[in-house]
Amino acid sequence: MINCRVVLVRPQLAANLGATARIMRNMGMSELVLVAPAADPGDRQARQLSTHGESILDRCRVVPELGDAVGDCAFVAGMSARTAGVFRGQAVATPDEVMSRLVEAARSGPAALVFGPEPTGLTNEEVGRCHFLVHIPADPTYPALNLAQAVAICLYELRRAWLGRTGMPSAAEAPATFADQELMFAYLRQALERIHFLYGEKADTLMHALRHLIGRAAPTPQEVKLLHGLARQLLWFAEHGTTAPEQAG
């Protein structure tokens, strides 16, 4: 079974919870996480539509914030029908393109597929925290899919990619966890602000571009440590005008 979870952010309709559990069962997946849900997985309609996926609803985790759902993940892909604008125009790909990358990452650690709420989808801030944005190329006159339909398409492509996999990566290729990358990005942003690479109205846009540039590379723990060290040296230089002394060990 592929090491990937489905994350539904602020789902509104119990029917979509049930339909999602059913397609997860169809595609051999079992881990469902709900972020601040309005819908109740115990709702009668959710149970009716789950059809042999009741156990997935029974075991689903409920967390307050996206970071709690994906903090241990090495790869996070968000789903959106909207791709316009700077925040959504980067790292956009179709489900089949993204799922092959997800399968590679999931061999070494957890991965997540993130879906937004029915009325609005994922926010720009939530999109910015994903390594890739999955876009289903539906007819542009009406591109918005039902939540459960979008889940079904993505999980089908994910299973196809998983069934076609060959070989296993070495431990050295394992990507760093989402939580470790978030810590590194926070430090890197602080350093880039201190040297005025990030400033003014374009700061968020530039940082978003850097996040996706680095995220697409699926950095390993050692590479994240390297970037963290770079940020630390930049901060020291900005403060003292010289490089930091070498640390023992």
176-240 matches 4-170 in CATH topology: no
Tally Cβ neighbours within 10 Å of residue 142: 8
Q: Is CATH 3.40.1280.10 the classification given to domain 4-170?
A: yes
| Max Cα–Cα distance, the chain, nearest Å | 66
Q: How far is the C-alpha of 127 from the C-alpha of 208, rounded, in Å?
A: 10
pLDDT per residue over 32-84, tens digit each? 999 999 999 999 999 999 999 999 999 999 999 999 999 999 899 999 876 65
Structural domain boundaries in the chain: 4-170, 176-240
Look at residue 1 and tell me whether its pLDDT is greater than 80: no
Whether pLDDT at 145 is above 60 = yes
How far apart CA 178 and CA 126 sit, in angstroms, is 13
Give the per-residue pLDDT at 15: 97
140 pLDDT more than 90: no
Identify which of 123, 129, 151, 144 has the alpha carbon closest to the alpha carbon of residue 53: 151
- Report the pLDDT value the prediction gives residue 167, as an integer from 0 to 100: 45
Of the ranges 13-17, 132-136, 208-212, the best mean pLDDT one: 13-17
**What tens digit of pLDDT does each residue of 147-199 get?**
999 999 999 999 999 988 754 444 456 788 889 999 999 999 999 999 999 98
On whether the pTM is more than 0.85, the answer is no
Cα atoms in the Cβ-side hemisphere of radius 13 Å centred on 22: 16
Q: What percent of the chain has pLDDT over 70?
A: 90
Is CATH 1.10.110.30 correct for 176-240? no
